[in-house]
Amino acid sequence: MAITSANQLELLQTAEAVAREKMIDPGLVVEAMEESLARAAKSRYGAEMDIRVNIDRKTGKATFTRVRTVVADDELENYQAEFTVEQAKQYMESPQIGDTFVEEVPPVEMGRIAAQSAKQVILQKVREAERDRQYEEFKDRAGTIINGLVKREEYGNVIVDVGAGEAILRRNEKIGRESYRPNDRIRCYIKDVRREPRGPQIFLSRTAPEFMAELFKMEVPEIYDGIIEIKAVARDPGSRAKIAVISYDGSIDPVGACVGMRGSRVQAVVNELQGEKIDIIPWNEDQPTFLVNALQPAEVSKVVLDEEAGKIEVVVPEEQLSLAIGRRGQNVRLASQLTGLDIDIMTEAEESARRQKEFESRTALFMETLDLDEFFAQLLVSEGFTNLEEVAYVELDELLVIDGVDEGTAEELQARARDYLEAQAKAALDNARALGAEDSLIEFEGLTPQMVEALAKDDVKTLEDFATCADWELAGGWTTVDGQRVKDDGILEPFGVSLEEAQDMVMTARVMLGWVDPTELLEEAEETDEGETATDEEAEA
């Protein structure tokens, strides 16, 4: 195929037609044509040459040019596309490194193979432009609901026509055993939109908690207007869900507004979610109160919150236990997701027995270590003392509130506790040294003698050994074996060392040994902080 005046305008007409059909910029199609013609010209003149083609956007005339770049003598590699300053003087007046010399070359005739190659280049460019257009159109729609038509099902994944392209609903994002036939209407949540070299770029979901939140926003005008806010959503897709709401207008009941007249609003959401039962719960800033609401319909007797550990104990009457836990633990699991807390549910009898056992063990501890009679040890436990460290280092005034304890008695109690703790520390240190623990580890800040002893028993005897430990080896963690989560006990886990504390200690040891540059750590920390700040700002925006 020769580029003659007869088919010059045909090029532009073809570009216009393709662009109109695919809804992309005609300029992109013309660029693809230029690239395909340049490739054909290279196969005719030589692949090493830098051949470029320019198609006039008005006339359709294609101009073929050869470009040569001026380079330094020692950088000359491609003789067809580059030349030295000396060689360039016969073509240019005063050539400089980096200058280019452009000369027109005769148009080429495309053979059958070259024409096929050109077609492939154009199709590839058009596909890329199509994907870019689809990405640009949908990137700002992530986090919203879209209606589409089912095109086909592939290996359990549903391909959905969303108007300007295709999206994919993966089988793990479908509710229960949903099945669809071609041309079925489907409503989904746009979970993610991302650039990918091939395949769908729009990822849909019907199981995401946000899908339910968006459905309520569509059904409840007060949520759309911002009078009612959805604070948290937890779902067991297709089975049951809990949604926490709060009203910023005292005259509007958030739960009633979401339920609607005779349940019309919530029923519309339930129907869309294949009959998923929905508990609508009033949100409360007070975590224990919110948890009591979240465990509905079960009644709760008592809530004990441990903020440091992020755990909460819930005590329920015996007859309410199965209701609080729910079928296969569903109710308590959803309440845990909703509140973000680990929930431990027990009956009143179990809680009473556990507290009695704790009371007896603490009483025995104080009797044995402080040489006290049972009555006095029970007094200490009743006042909330749980271990020797609390007795040894608490303010004296806190011991004086105990009936029958004067200043002399309080000082004697503290002296006994400290003596016992010091003796324990010395024994642990002696044992650690006997096991081979070196001073570099013993003197490391943050490790108690008991911790050093535990490390030495696990064959961690030097600072170098300690620096090679992983944080989970020290603080404990979880591993998945054959699909089951298995607990890994950490060496320092019995001493309450958290994962973050273990990370800090190991990194400090590595810095002390010169394995890690502290300035690099500082830079990484600053970059992380900046990244988190930027993410927070984006989230707020």
**Tens of pLDDT along 94-109?**
778 878 888 777 777 6
For residues 334 and 15, which has the higher predicted lDDT (pLDDT)?
334
pLDDT in tens, 167-201: 888 888 888 777 888 888 999 999 888 877 665 67
Tokens 């394995």 found at: 515
**Where does the pLDDT of residue 431 fall: very low under 50, low under 70, confident under 90, or very high at 90 and above?**
very high
DSSP character at residue 451: H
Contact 241, 233 (CB under 8 A): yes
The stretch 53-57 carries a mean pLDDT of 79
The stretch 340-357 carries a mean pLDDT of 83
Give the pLDDT score at 5: 39
Q: Is the pLDDT confidence value at 482 over 70?
A: no
Nearest one of 141, 276, 143 to 217, comparing CA atoms: 143
Give the end-to-end CA distance of the chain in Å, rounded to a whole number.
55
Give the pLDDT score at 171: 85
Greatest mean pLDDT among 31-40, 120-129, 187-196, 455-464 lies in: 455-464
Tokens 């298995």 found at: 486
Whole-model pTM: value is 0.57
Q: How far is Cα 67 from Cα 50, in angstroms, rounded to an integer?
A: 5
**Tokens encoding 402:** 């105990």
3-state secondary structure of 447: coil
Q: How far is Cα 513 from Cα 303, in angstroms, rounded to an integer?
A: 47
Tokens 């930027």 found at: 534
**Residues sharing a CB contact under 8 Å with residue 121, sequence separation 6 or more, in sequence order:** 32, 35, 36, 39
Least confident of 442-446, 507-511, 520-524: 520-524
Strand partners, 235: 241
**Where does the pLDDT of residue 6 fall: very low under 50, low under 70, confident under 90, or very high at 90 and above?**
very low
Q: How far is Cα 466 from Cα 441, in angstroms, rounded to an integer?
A: 8
Helix spans in 220-319 (H): 221-224, 254-259, 264-272, 287-294
Q: Is the pLDDT confidence value at 510 over 60?
A: yes
Tokens 């995401």 found at: 208
Q: How far is Cα 502 from Cα 446, in angstroms, rounded to an integer?
A: 10
Mean pLDDT score of the chain, rounded to an integer?
81
Q: How far is Cα 161 from Cα 188, in angstroms, rounded to an integer?
A: 12
Beta strand residue intervals within 288-392, DSSP E: 302-306, 311-316, 342-347
Element of type H or E holding 192 = strand 185-193
